Chains A and B, each alone.
Chain A
């Protein structure tokens, strides 16, 4: 009768799959039990008073020492019991509160994760439908292949790190950091790009089509896509003007680098054309009305294996271009160039966001 917790019986088993509902239940119980404890205390107080009065009334004469002792003992017992029950109630109340707070924390974490996923998907310029993230091709591809799912996770982290590097470069340049320290920052930034090439190579082995599709990049970046990434000659053309002072020798070297990049890119592009032609031929060979399980599929598959090599060679070209730039430029110039590179990609991502959020009615088109 006196224990408030005996009134609290969970109406059904609480699983972990319904955190929101669980929290509201906890909240209700928390509140109801607090009020139960309070009311029980009040009842107890009233009882004590009533007991005292009845004791006096039934035994008539107050003052007899034996009666007085008995009453005092009974009263003391009752008080002790009440205190003990209060302590118990308070303890259980604290435990419930702790559990409630833990539920809140885990929900918060989950919410943050969901928000991150939504941001990431929005960055990709994908439409977030009512059915959730699983409905778009990004989620679809990731769920099919653990190598790709891994890559996407790592790429998210890689992007954050890249943004940190960009910020560090900006700060370093505006604060006139020393050359040695700046040099380390430059090397670190370059190595970070090389790390991405390694990640892409592993992802290409898992699914070369996926890497080639650029689905892991924002939509504006995809617009400029060339064999799994940025086109080195384009990057040079756009960003070199951002380096202010260069010697004649440097200008000439960079011009030659641009030409070499272009030539290498052309060769790779022509190789890709040939690959496309070969795959297309092997798919179309024989009667087109035949079933799909003809030997031609295996030929096409064999030929497609070369796609991994193309991704690797294109990344190799990107890597060599970055290395050559670092040879031509001073550390400070390289820092400026890498900063420009990081900012350029960030702006492309921002463009993708703007694009994703553009007004749908043609009459409201953005006037530049």
Chain B
């Protein structure tokens, strides 16, 4: 690709020379064709040629690598999708759905023995009437209560050994008045012991659950307060 002026013939004014594919040979060609031209122009010509070859090489290399494809986003579509997403979020009621699913799984007994909710166990035992581990817990409790009845004659509380002699089931009415006052004092101690013992023989993590339920039934709580004590004494 070279230029020569022949001013008289505009069609033949410029002369084009095809350069060699080899870079060095092409440079020599430029030199020999532009032989009487000023050095500066020859130099600039060669520079231009170098630039062109380099970018051609780069193009070829890049097409082999991965090419980023720009995908245009339609603003209308984006807005529409955003709005639909918000509405879907509201309709989904995620928290409720998750809670329902978890409770379903609890009912289906997928968690096994980790969670021991006594009432739940009792219901299941009623429904299914099968001897399972849950119902066996209930039976254990019955046994414990029997033990407690037996044991109660002898031991009641740690601190008030005197009262233990008095407190029979027949005399519970008299005791109720005094014991309930004491219950409040002792409840904190016994809760701790209950916790420890619960951890020992039931081995579950959510301690607040069963504790809360036990507080609802005052009478049972009284009995169970003594029960761990009995266990502690006997074991």
Q: Do A and B bind each other?
A: no
Which residues on A are within 8 Å of B, measured CB to CB? none
Which residues on B are within 8 Å of A, measured CB to CB? none
